[in-house]
């Protein structure tokens, strides 16, 4: 039988999809592209925004339309938020929660009345598909921060934190190195809480990032691993102790996604974020002291309930002042069950779009400005695959700062550059995002 998968949302979802794919492979399924006709479709959903909900529904219906006789399963966060009502949708044959992801294949096989072709194994290991040059490795799950706009703590364990033991992380990294990966990205729902299983949301701050630092240090010692990249970090984990240790690890990439959400203190308070704009800037400055030209990226939400024009302009001015390497801009989307969803003074869609467009334009400026700093410099590039841009074919890859670099294919071939290898490259062209 043929099984196809589609992943929406965060890097953790992509990691978990790969684990589900492996479950199906073990049971004799042929894994095909989602665009192809399949017997089973698995849609790993997202519910962070209304747009994510709509996309999840669209993909579910697209799968059923492609093959009306197929078995279509919705999996993940949208299932958690939508509840039993999802099963009223005739396009959905089954719905599985985040907790069910380790047993999806087993349950699908049972529902289809098929014979198990292998013994079920709870896959906590996740070597990703062999056509990739980097692997995402989930080492933490759950979040207990309960930001007022976010549904994730409710659909990812109700605030419960779980971390993969350090020894198991290192074991998985060894497997990835043996499979030929040069770069590993450590991810989690709230990665900064790695190794801190306390119900106290402030505990990870008191830990000063030591558990995460320790596991990075051990993973970097695995032979064959050239890069360790961290997923999204909580600003409060950034400390002298954490950065001082990280800066001593050559394999640690100078690339940090530090979630902001707003550059205005009054909005941050309504969001239940636990820092001020000044404190955030201090963390960015600290990163820039410990690392040369680090790529600091962020998330920003526009149109949060009650966001005045002055508050928005404060955020925009703050972002212009700190000039990060890139920004991901989101229009606030009410999530049923969160405090923000019932706040007064909800912002109109038109105003959200206007503010979003302004910040996206700013982000393009900052991204271009940051990339151009490296033209004429020599950087280590992990080449990934060929791509066509403006009618020209390039071998492209990324630097440790995740700047996308392209070398014209004839030149790359002449110099002997190969995919999944790292080379010293003099930067002459920065490819678009």
Give the per-residue pLDDT at 189: 85
Given a contact cutoff of 8 angstroms between Cβ atoms, the answer to whether 83 and 45 are in contact is no
- Averaged over 80-102, what is the pLDDT? 80
Compute the C-alpha angle 273/279/285, nearest 5°: 130
Least confident of 16-25, 118-127, 239-248: 118-127
In the chain, where are the structural domains located?
2-112, 134-372, 378-426
Number of residues written out for the chain: 433
- pLDDT tens, 198-231? 666 667 677 778 999 999 999 999 999 999 999 9
CA dist 204 and 201 (Å) reads: 7
> How much helix, strand and coil, in percent to the nearest 5, is found in the chain?
40, 20, 35
* Side-chain half-sphere CA neighbours of 309 within 13 A: 2
Measured CA to CA, the distance from residue 363 to residue 329 in angstroms comes to: 8
The DSSP symbol for 101 reads G
What secondary structure letter does DSSP report for 99?
G
Region 134-372: CATH code: 3.80.30.20
Give the pLDDT score at 114.
Answer: 63
What is the C-alpha separation between 30 and 1, in angstroms, rounded? 6
Please state, rounded to an integer, the average pLDDT across all residues of the chain: 87
| Residue 407, pLDDT above cutoff 50 | yes
Q: Could you tell me the two tokens for 412?
A: 């790359």
| pLDDT for the residue numbered 123 | 28
The C-alpha atoms of residue 357 and residue 270 are separated, in whole angstroms, by: 23
pLDDT grade for 399, boundaries at 50, 70 and 90:
very high
Strands (E), 77-128: 94-96
Checking DSSP bridges between strand 227-230 and strand 183-188, what pairing results, if any? parallel
pTM for the predicted model, two decimal places: 0.77
Cβ atoms of 62 and 23 within 8 Å: the answer is no
How many CA within 13 A on the CB side of residue 158?
2
What kind of architecture, by CATH, is found in domain 2-112? 3-Layer(aba) Sandwich (3.40)
């Amino acid at each position: 039988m043929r099984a196809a998968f589609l992943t929406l949302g965060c890097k953790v979802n992509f990691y978990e999809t790969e684990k589900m794919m492996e479950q199906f492979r073990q049971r004799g399924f042929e894994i095909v592209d989602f665009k192809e006709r399949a017997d089973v479709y698995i849609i790993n959903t997202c519910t962070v925004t209304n747009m994510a909900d709509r996309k999840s529904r669209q993909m579910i219906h697209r799968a059923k339309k492609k093959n009306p006789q197929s078995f279509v399963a919705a999996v993940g966060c949208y299932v958690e938020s939508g509840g039993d009502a999802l099963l009223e949708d005739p396009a959905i044959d089954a719905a599985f929660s985040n907790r069910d992801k380790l047993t999806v294949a087993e349950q699908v096989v049972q529902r289809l009345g098929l014979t198990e072709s292998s013994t079920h194994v709870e896959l906590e290991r996740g070597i990703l598909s062999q056509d990739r040059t980097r692997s995402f490795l989930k080492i933490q799950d759950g979040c207990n921060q309960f930001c007022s706009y976010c549904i994730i703590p409710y659909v990812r364990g109700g605030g419960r934190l779980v971390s993969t033991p350090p020894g198991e992380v290192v074991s998985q990294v060894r497997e990835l190195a043996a499979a030929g990966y040069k770069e590993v990205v450590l991810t989690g729902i709230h990665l900064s809480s790695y190794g801190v299983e306390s119900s106290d949301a402030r505990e990870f701050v008191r830990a000063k990032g030591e558990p995460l630092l320790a596991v990075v240090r051990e993973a970097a010692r695995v032979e064959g691993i050239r890069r360790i990249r961290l997923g999204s970090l909580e600003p409060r984990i950034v400390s002298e102790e954490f950065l001082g240790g990280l800066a001593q690890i050559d394999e640690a990439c100078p690339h940090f996604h530090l979630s902001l959400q707003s550059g205005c203190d009054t909005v941050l308070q309504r969001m239940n974020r636990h820092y001020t704009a000044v404190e955030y800037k201090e963390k960015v400055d600290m990163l820039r002291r410990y690392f040369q030209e680090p790529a600091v990226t962020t998330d920003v939400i526009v149109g949060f309930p009650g966001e005045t024009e002055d508050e928005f302009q404060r955020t925009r001015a703050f972002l212009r002042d700190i000039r990060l390497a890139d920004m991901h801009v989101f229009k606030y989307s009410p999530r049923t069950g969160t405090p923000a969803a019932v706040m007064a003074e909800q912002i109109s869609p038109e105003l959200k779009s206007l503010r979003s467009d302004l910040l996206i334009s700013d982000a393009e400026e900052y991204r271009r400005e940051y990339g151009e700093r490296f033209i004429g410099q020599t950087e280590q590039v992990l080449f990934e695959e060929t791509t066509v841009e403006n009618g020209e074919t390039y071998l492209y890859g990324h630097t440790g700062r995740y700047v996308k670099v392209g070398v014209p294919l004839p030149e790359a071939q002449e110099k002997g550059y190969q995919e999944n290898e790292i080379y010293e490259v003099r930067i002459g062209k920065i490819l678009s995002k």
